[in-house]
Structure 1
Amino acid sequence: MSLFIEIKNLNLSFGDIKVLKNINLTINEGEVIGILGKSGAGKTVLMHVLRGFDEYGNISGEVIYHLAGCEDCEYVEPPSKAGKKCEKCGGELKPFSADFVKLPVHDPVRRRITRRIAIMLQRTFALYGDEKVISNVTNALTEIGYTGTDALSKAMEILDQVQLSHRMTHVARDLSGGEKQRVVLARQLVKNPMLLLADEPTGTLDPNTSHVVHEVIMNAVRRYNMSMIITSHWPDVISDVADKAIFLEEGEIVSEGDPKEVADEFLKHVGAIERNSRPESGEPIIKVENLVKKYISVSRGVVYAVNDISFEVNEGEIYGLAGTSGAGKTTTSKILIGNIQPTGGDVHVRVGDEWIDMTVPGPSNRGRATQYMGILHQEYGLYIQRSVIDNLTESIGLDLPYELAVRKAITTLTATGFTESKAKDILSKMATELSEGEKHRVALAQVLIREPNIVIMDEPTGTMDPVTKGEVASSILNAREKMGDTFIIVSHDIDFLESVCDRVALMKNGKIVDIGEPEEVLLEFTGKERMEAENI
């Protein structure tokens, strides 16, 4: 590997406080360097020195970038490209070096280099909060001066790379922390960076979300053949992703080498570190408390369709609402999505980090979270005389350029269980040419392509045969895995709920009588009640 960055005897002080002390480190092209250290150890300061945006008065030593540059268009590449043709103009790339300690911050050479450096900062998402995700990425292309007519296509390709194409129409502020970090990475990837500086990119995220973000980051590192420097105070992060690690304490390198050995040395100094664990499915995304819905009937008086129920649904969970006809499960689902208002109680849905009160009318007199919720009715609404691609775009008002519409349709269809080749094959088919199982998967894709966080499915199996039910179950499980959406399944089909749900709430006469593991809860759904349900 070619030598990329040399840090020699680097010292930096703020006033009388020395924050970096005699730092010596080499970074090779394509190498991932992990920096471990407690808060205040100097990790972030070192990252900012490497980034090159800031000028420091009391700094000494060397921070040398070894590079290849084109004299014709001034494009900069990693050192291994020296002697090759410039991909921008066809000129020759020649080797050169630049010292960030000696070069002024506004020096043209230094600025050429910093344009190829990407950074992800802890807790700083640096997004256009009121803009859609896709706009955040196209804006980043504009910011680097990209004027190509394929900007939208490039943006969508990058969102595919960070596994966020299913959130492209979401407003950035409504994303979760992990999703925001992936948009930040997408905005940085438009630079086609040669170096990624990731400063505690998952420091405030839960373990499951951290794993997803780290996976996306490492995929980007490999795809773009980047070098990366990542800081963390979590030893397992550095052990998992780094080729080489350093342990920084009070501005000094106290250990350097194999990531596992450095992590063990770090743990000796700081003791055991425990991360807060959480259920695999995630933190709550829906909270229902003391929910009531009553109607006045001339013949029956006051009728309680839902009678004082409380439950929570976790993010990424497949949650079942079980019960016979009239148990209250469908009414509950309609309240959740904002189609009807409750008589009493509270319903809150989390959008990003904000809890939305669904009892307070928003757009179209429904709770604001409704735009991030989708429902698939038992009699799903495919347009029989339209092709699959029309059903997934024009027929539901999805206005995208055709090329992007096709790409998004294929991505969504594969999330429901189609292979990519099969998804491409059925795009031009009429809905009448599909099998019942295929129709259901296309109908689910019709909901998912609108990018909901939460999907409610009302009696999804109906009178299907066992084979088709199995296809439907697979489509739901596959969609959850690919997109991370939360599913609420309203059904009286016991076997189906047992096969697909993580938890089930059993309803009877408007009340929840049990919540828990499907097998245990649904044992109560036996005898005459179960027989009646299976004959509905």
Structure 2
Amino acid sequence: MPFIEIKNVSKRFNDVDVLKNINMTVDEGTVLGILGRSGSGKSVLINMLRGMKEYKPDEGQIIYTVAICPDCLRVEPPSMENKTCKCGGKFETQRVDFWNCDRKIFASLRRRISIMLQRSFALYEDDTVIDNVIKSIEGRDEEDKMYMAIDLIEMTHMTHRITHIARDLSGGEKQRVVLARQMGKEPMVFLADEPTGTLDPQTAELLHQTLLEGVKNKGTTMVITSHWPEVMRTLSDYVIWLENGEIIHEGDPETVVQTFLDSVPLPEKIETPDTGEPILELENIKKHYYSIERGVVKAVDGVSLNVNEGEIFGIVGLSGAGKTTLSRIIYGLTEPSSGKIEMKLGDDWIDMTKPGPLFRGRVKPYMGILHQEYSLYPHRTVLGNLTEAISLDLPAEFAKMKAIYVLKAVGFDEKYASQLLDKAPDELSGGERHRVALAQVLIKEPRVIILDEPTGTMDPITRVQVTDSIRKAREELNQTFIIISHDMDFVLDVCDNASLMRGGKILKTGLPEEIVDDLTAKEKNKMLKKE
């Protein structure tokens, strides 16, 4: 008998069908992969399996076949039938209609299901890494908790941060601690919703290995959603492909993944336009920090480069190369230790290293940035996020027209873009929120736009749409783009020129194809993902 049965499940939000008559089963100890583009219904299904309040099916059933101790109501996988519980009772098998069962059994079931959400960094911010992990472990004495926490931290490659405060960690490090915490709960079912979607390939690979060693190889039942084909191939035993809330293909990972990849269109081939004169010049930019543990850290170490007007310029490198720090310096969020940055505005070159309305303040309205850790205003609609929330004061009808135009530019069709306007951010998928955040930058029509890892949560089809929209924005609005990325395939598709960054330094600048020739074997492995 299957461990999990999903029977005729449908779900609507605001009269929009997001899941349509879904049927599938999951056996104990197996890994089900759910593949699909942004907005296909993956996250809705994973939250439904966890029992999240807003995700109760409108139709159909989620049935768990489990072993339950009648004395303490502890829940275990069905293989524990007739075995003795810690309380002394004996486990009995039951088929539980998850969303229509006794409240106490529902709560007991939920406690045995761990979920790792995309872009979730939910930690005790003032506690150390090890304290965060210890707090997730139950049913053991203090010494056992300590040793188990150390093992989990080692498994997630976080031993170098074991005594660091959670709020001081990077996004990728927080994600690894979240994973350690979820594994510390020793769940009978592990749910992972795009667990590596926002991470660079190097950090993502660490998490993949951890899920392989700490979840799959231990026989824990897992359901994982992703738009990364390699995640499906590495971790899944069986894959379903969701599209517009329906299962359109299912089977072994290799077959389903290849069919999915065959559906991904190629970016439009266009002639590279002639770019203008330099609009941004950096000369010998440095940013040095002092760390008690590491001494002087040269995050950016003598960077010089020119970006031309109308150019799409890439800055590529692995995590820790200094890319994000450099982007923050260019935008004026981080002060350089030394060096010169100038941007051309009209006929004037403006010194960006100087604050004030005649210098950096004069330029900032003409620049836009999409941070890697972007966020939308949760209590405003999509339309509000694209207008009032960013002080864009427009007449109502014109605001709607402009919002729909820019949403189309980031890959939404016109009908769906119109439907999005009245939705709140938490009604969107992770990839949809990412595209709205990109639209929030584009709608102000800045002259220079910095995009820090713009493809992090995007499925392959959406990546192509965003590639085309960036080119379209350059062509129609004469915008200049600086793309900060570890995704060399995206840079090859969209950028005119690029610089390779390593250890805070620019090693080479040229055509993206020329940059590939200078990548190390490790960089090629981590930055080139094309099948």
Asked if 1 retains the 8 angstrom alpha-carbon contact of 2:133 and 2:180, the reply is yes
Alpha-carbon offset, residue 288 of structure 1: 11
Per-residue CA deviation, residues 99-141 of structure 1 (Å, 9 max, x unaligned), is 123237xx11011011111111111111123322112112323
Distance 1:92 1:173, change over 3 A: same
Alpha-carbon offset, residue 239 of structure 1: 1.8
Asked if 1 retains the 8 angstrom alpha-carbon contact of 2:216 and 2:222, the reply is no
TM norm structure 2: 0.51
Map of 1:151 onto structure 2? 145
Q: Where do 5+ consecutive residues of structure 2 fail to align?
A: 268-281, 289-299, 305-315, 323-335, 341-352, 354-501, 506-517, 519-531
- 1:16 and 1:93 map into 2 onto residues whose CA distance is 42
TM norm structure 1: 0.50
Asked if 1 retains the 8 angstrom alpha-carbon contact of 2:32 and 2:222, the reply is yes
Asked if 1 retains the 8 angstrom alpha-carbon contact of 2:44 and 2:55, the reply is no
Alignment partner of 1:162 out of 156, 162, 170 = 156
1:219-298 counterparts in 2 under 5 A?
219-222=213-216, 224-271=218-265, 289-290=284-285
Asked if 2 retains the 8 angstrom alpha-carbon contact of 1:193 and 1:224, the reply is no
- 1:102 and 1:62 map into 2 onto residues whose CA distance is 8
Distance 1:194 1:58, change over 3 A: closer
Distance 1:504 1:118, change over 3 A: closer
Per-residue CA deviation, residues 357-410 of structure 1 (Å, 9 max, x unaligned), is 9xxxxxxxxxxxxxxxxxxxxxxxxxxxxxxxxxxxxxxxxxxxxxxxxxxxxx
Alpha-carbon offset, residue 165 of structure 1: 2.2
- 1:70 and 1:243 map into 2 onto residues whose CA distance is 30
Map of 1:310 onto structure 2? 302
Please tell me the root mean square deviation across aligned C-alpha atoms, in Å: 3.8
Distance 1:237 1:70, change over 3 A: same
Map of 1:15 onto structure 2? 14
Asked if 1 retains the 8 angstrom alpha-carbon contact of 2:33 and 2:240, the reply is yes
Alignment partner of 1:126 out of 113, 122, 143 = 122
Aligned residue type for 2:61: E
Distance 1:34 1:76, change over 3 A: same
Asked if 2 retains the 8 angstrom alpha-carbon contact of 1:247 and 1:255, the reply is yes
Alpha-carbon offset, residue 42 of structure 1: 0.5
Q: Where do 5+ consecutive residues of structure 1 fail to align?
A: 274-286, 294-307, 320-341, 347-356, 358-501, 506-516, 518-536
SS at match of 2:96: strand
The reply to whether residue 171 of structure 1 matches residue 165 of structure 2 is: yes
Asked if 2 retains the 8 angstrom alpha-carbon contact of 1:10 and 1:60, the reply is yes
Asked if 2 retains the 8 angstrom alpha-carbon contact of 1:85 and 1:92, the reply is yes
SS at match of 2:100: coil
Per-residue CA deviation, residues 43-80 of structure 1 (Å, 9 max, x unaligned), is 00000110013155661111100111112222111011
- 1:224 and 1:31 map into 2 onto residues whose CA distance is 10
Alignment partner of 1:91 out of 66, 89, 92 = 89
Distance 1:59 1:145, change over 3 A: farther
Asked if 1 retains the 8 angstrom alpha-carbon contact of 2:301 and 2:504, the reply is no
Asked if 2 retains the 8 angstrom alpha-carbon contact of 1:53 and 1:114, the reply is no
Per-residue CA deviation, residues 80-108 of structure 1 (Å, 9 max, x unaligned), is 1111222x22421111121123237xx11
Quick check: which has more Rg, 1 or 2? 1
- 1:11 and 1:135 map into 2 onto residues whose CA distance is 40
Map of 2:184 onto structure 1? 190
Asked if 1 retains the 8 angstrom alpha-carbon contact of 2:216 and 2:235, the reply is no
Instruction: Calculate percent identity across the aligned residue pairs.
Output: 46
Aligned residue type for 2:72: C
Map of 1:113 onto structure 2? 109
Aligned residue type for 1:45: V
Distance 1:160 1:91, change over 3 A: farther
- 1:14 and 1:316 map into 2 onto residues whose CA distance is 38
Asked if 1 retains the 8 angstrom alpha-carbon contact of 2:115 and 2:192, the reply is yes
The reply to whether residue 78 of structure 1 matches residue 77 of structure 2 is: yes
Q: How many residues align?
A: 302
Distance 1:179 1:309, change over 3 A: closer
Per-residue CA deviation, residues 156-213 of structure 1 (Å, 9 max, x unaligned), is 2321232322211122233233322211111112211011111001111122221111
- 1:96 and 1:140 map into 2 onto residues whose CA distance is 27
Distance 1:6 1:180, change over 3 A: same
- 2:171 and 2:107 map into 1 onto residues whose CA distance is 30
Aligned residue type for 2:302: S
Asked if 1 retains the 8 angstrom alpha-carbon contact of 2:183 and 2:215, the reply is no
